[in-house]
Amino acid sequence: MDFVPNSEAEFAAMLQASGVSSFDDLVSCIPAKLKEFRSRLPAPLTEMELVMEMEKLAASNRTSRQVLSFLGAGIYDHFIPPAVDALASRGEFVTAYTPYQAEASQGTLTAIYEYQSYLCAITGMEVSNASLYDGASAVAEAGFLSLQANSNRPRIVHAASLHPEYLATLQTYLAGQKAEFVSAPLKDGVLDLDALAGLVNPRTCALIVQSPNFHGCLEPMAQAADIAHRHGAFFVACVNPISLGLIRPPGEYNADFAVGEGQPLGCPMSFGGPGFGFLTSTKKLVHKISGRIVGQTVDENNQRSFCLTLQAREQHIRREKATSNICSNQALMALRACIHLALLGKRGFQQVAQLNHQRAHAAAAAICGLRGFSLAFKQPFFNEFTIRCPVPSADLLARLEKENLIPGLAVADPNAKSSNLLLVCVTETKTSDDIQRLVKALAAFSTP
């Protein structure tokens, strides 16, 4: 199968019109020895065979429809209104290119402008770009921007509670830069502010803190931001966007960058991608941020129009002097987020956050009612929390897998060889029946 809509007769006519007698004449510039290679691919499939093959592959996964899962840790199972799919799957959006030709791209451009507006609304920040790859790379971009904007400040301090994959990405991205990474220790699941004050210094370009953090706890963001600012460092807040219907947004504690993973806003889990990274900042830093930005302007008739702007920051203009190397982003996922936020609106956005909070707290209370189970940290949380179990969490997971139940993620315990810690996520999609089933299953492990 191929998708070529011309006949051999038409190819012959085009070749002749091009002044050559065969296709080989067009590719005679390729050294002959390069054309002699042997390699194998599976035989082509008809569309029907392909669909059957792909359905078989998909069916051999056990998904959140077959398994009751309380996994979170960066990717979350949230309700996605069907209108998101209906609108975001329109070919006019899906098969468009980057909107460099503004007059042929007002649909995409207007939607990105609205996306930027909504991201500013939920984070409380002043400006937003049009998206980055994912939450982890957004943290890395913020780290790089902080390094660039603060020469002679090579130190990046991050809370030890940053998602381990985000930290790994940050360190990988910046391996070629003269950056030094310092991990700020925790006390009872959140930053130890006294210790932090001793680690942030005038050589620090950024303090990166995630809240809710990897353990589910809400960090003392305002105090951490103050410590960063006291030394002239940027404060980078990494946040879960869906939490912001309830939780204090980065704009309210003067973050310089608010970044994170946008998947909870209308994107399926899809084995971890694509979601999108978001990056918001302050007006003051707008010329230094990375990624595409849409601005409002007018056309020759003075009608409101939108176009990409501040492109002098970007690689296609500035090459190695650009603020980042990013070109393609995750536009279609940002569109999904835009539609999702519009559908939820002011009230729905608050409700979904409240419902996450309610259900997670109901689950936590019920689990902690079981003998031997307790909250690992006495900290406020949103929709994720760490439980200390009476048995190693890996054993618990292995036993419940047979019951098609994933009670959470087994996470390491820095103070013990084998860990009894379990990170549990309860979103609005978990009903009270689901929570009861979880509690009942855990009860089997409870100490007598």
Partner 1 sequence: MRPPLLNEQSKPGLQAVAFPVTNDPVDLPAEHRRQTPAPLPEVAEVDVVRHFTILSKDNFSVDTHFYPLGSCTMKYNPKVNEYVSALPGFAQLHPLQPASHAQGAMRLIFELEQMLGEICGMDAFTLQPAAGAHGELTGMLIARAAHLARGKPRRKVLVPSSAHGTNPASARLAGFQIVTVPGAPDGLLHPDQVAPLIDEDTAAIMLTNPNTLGVFEEHILEIARMAHEKGALLYYDGANLNALLGLCRPGDMGFDIVHVNLHKTFSTPHGGGGPGAGPVGVKKHLAPFLPSPRAQQNPDGSFSWQHNLPQSIGKMRAFHGNFSVLARAYAYIRALGWEGLRAASRAAIIHANYIKKQLEDKFPAYTNRPCMHECVLMANHLKEAGLTVRDIAKRILDYGYHAPTIAWPIHDCLMIEPTETESKETLDAFISAMRKVAREIETESYTLQHAPHHMPIQRVDEVKAARELRLRD
Ligand X SMILES: Cc1ncc(COP(=O)(O)O)c(C=O)c1O
Q: Which does 257 bind (CB under 5 to 8 A by kind): partner 1, ligand X, none?
A: none
Identified binder of partner 1 from the candidate list 192, 380, 388, 441, rule CB under 8 A: 380
Q: CB-wise, 302 or 328, nearer to ligand X?
A: 328
- Asked if 403 touches partner 1 (CB under 8 A), the answer is no
Which residues are paired to 382 by β-bridges? Answer: none
- Asked if 303 touches ligand X (CB under 6 A), the answer is no
Least distance from C-beta 24 to partner 1, angstroms? 10
The Cα 120–Cα 256 span in angstroms is 13
Q: Which does 21 bind (CB under 5 to 8 A by kind): partner 1, ligand X, none?
A: none
Site for partner 1 in 54-73 (CB under 8 A): 54-65, 67, 69, 71, 73
> Any residues with CB less than 8 A from the CB of 421 and at least 6 apart, and which?
376, 386, 387, 388, 389, 393, 410, 411, 412, 413
Rg of the chain taking only CA atoms, in angstroms:
25
Given a contact cutoff of 8 angstroms between Cβ atoms, the answer to whether 219 and 210 are in contact is yes
Q: Which does 169 bind (CB under 5 to 8 A by kind): partner 1, ligand X, none?
A: partner 1
Identified binder of ligand X from the candidate list 175, 328, 415, 433, rule CB under 6 A: 328
Identified binder of partner 1 from the candidate list 159, 236, 265, 294, rule CB under 8 A: 294
Least distance from C-beta 49 to partner 1, angstroms? 9
**CA dist list (Å): 328 to 72, 103, 117:** 27, 20, 21
Helices (H), 308-405: 315-318, 331-368, 393-401
Q: CB-wise, 137 or 204, nearer to partner 1?
A: 137
Upper half-sphere CA count for residue 378 (Cβ side, 13 Å):
0
Q: Binding marks (x or -) toward partner 1, 99..138, rule CB under 8 A?
A: x-xxxxxxxx-xxxxx-xxx-xxx-x-xxx-xx-xxxxx-
- Asked if 409 touches partner 1 (CB under 8 A), the answer is yes
Identified binder of partner 1 from the candidate list 198, 202, 272, 369, rule CB under 8 A: 272
Give φ, ψ of 128 to 5 degrees. -140, 145
Given a contact cutoff of 8 angstroms between Cβ atoms, the answer to whether 175 and 226 are in contact is no
- Asked if 436 touches partner 1 (CB under 8 A), the answer is no
Site size for ligand X (CB under 6 A): 2
The Cα 360–Cα 383 span in angstroms is 5
Tell me which residue of 341, 374, 381, 378 sits closest to 357, measured CA to CA: 381
DSSP string over 139-159 = HHHHHHHHHHHSTT--EEEEE
- Asked if 196 touches partner 1 (CB under 8 A), the answer is no
**Secondary structure (3-state) at 48:** helix
Least distance from C-beta 393 to ligand X, angstroms? 39
Tell me which residue of 337, 308, 263 sits closest to 115, measured CA to CA: 337
Site for partner 1 in 332-351 (CB under 8 A): 332-333, 335, 339, 341-351
Site size for partner 1 (CB under 8 A): 196
Identified binder of partner 1 from the candidate list 150, 201, 254, 315, rule CB under 8 A: 315
- Asked if 319 touches ligand X (CB under 6 A), the answer is no
The residue ranges that bind ligand X (CB under 6 A) are 327-328
